[in-house]
Amino acid sequence: GNSVTQMEGPVTLSEEAFLTINCTYTATGYPSLFWYVQYPGEGLQLLLKATKADDKGSNKGFEATYRKETTSFHLEKGSVQVSDSAVYFCALSGSGNTPLVFGKGTRLSVIA
Amino acid sequence: GAGVSQTPSNKVTEKGKYVELRCDPISGHTALYWYRQSLGQGPEFLIYFQGTGAADDSGLPNDRFFAVRPEGSVSTLKIQRTERGDSAVYLCASSFSPGESEQYFGPGTRLTVT
- A100 vs B35: CB contact, 8 Å cut-off? yes
Is residue B97 very low, low, confident or very high in pLDDT (cuts 50, 70, 90)?
confident
- B105 vs A4: CB contact, 8 Å cut-off? no
Nearest to A17 by CA among A65, A107, A82, A106: A82
Could you give the percent of chain B with pLDDT greater than 70?
Answer: 96
Is residue A96 very low, low, confident or very high in pLDDT (cuts 50, 70, 90)?
low
Partner residue facing A100 (CB), from B56, B103, B108: B103
E runs forming strands in chain A: 3-6, 11-14, 19-21, 23-26, 32-38, 44-50, 56-59, 62-65, 75-77, 86-93, 100-102, 106-111
User: Rounded CA gap, B41 and A42, in Å?
Assistant: 16
User: Rounded CA gap, A38 and A108, in Å?
Assistant: 10
- A78: helix, coil or strand? coil
- A44 vs B31: CB contact, 8 Å cut-off? no
Residue of A nearest to B36 (CA): A102
Q: Return the pLDDT at B102.
A: 82
Q: Return the pLDDT at B96.
A: 86
Instruction: Classify each residue of A2-22 as buried b or exposed e, where b means 16 or more C-beta atoms within 10 Å of its C-beta.
Output: bebebbeeebebeeeeebebb
The pLDDT mean for chain B works out to 93
* Alpha helix (H) residue ranges in chain B: none
Q: Is the dihedral of CA B53, B58, B59, B65 positive or negative?
A: positive
Partner residue facing A99 (CB), from B41, B56, B106: B56
- A99 vs B42: CB contact, 8 Å cut-off? no
Q: Return the pLDDT at B1.
A: 56
Distance from CA of A12 to the nearest CA of B (A): 17
The answer to whether residue B103 scores a pLDDT higher than 80 is yes
Residues of B whose CB is below 8 A from A104? 40-42
The pLDDT mean for chain A works out to 94
Q: Is the dihedral of CA B32, B36, A97, B53 positive or negative?
A: negative
Q: Return the pLDDT at B101.
A: 67
Average pLDDT over residues B38-59: 92
Of A4-8, A94-98, B35-39, B94-98, the range with the lowest mean pLDDT is: A94-98
The answer to whether residue A66 scores a pLDDT higher than 80 is yes
Of A38-52, A85-99, B39-53, the range with the lowest mean pLDDT is: A85-99
Average pLDDT over residues A91-109: 88
A42 versus B112: the higher-pLDDT residue is B112
- B50 vs A51: CB contact, 8 Å cut-off? no
Backbone angles phi, psi at A74, to 5 degrees: -75, 140
Are the C-beta atoms of B91 and A89 separated by less than 8 Å?
no
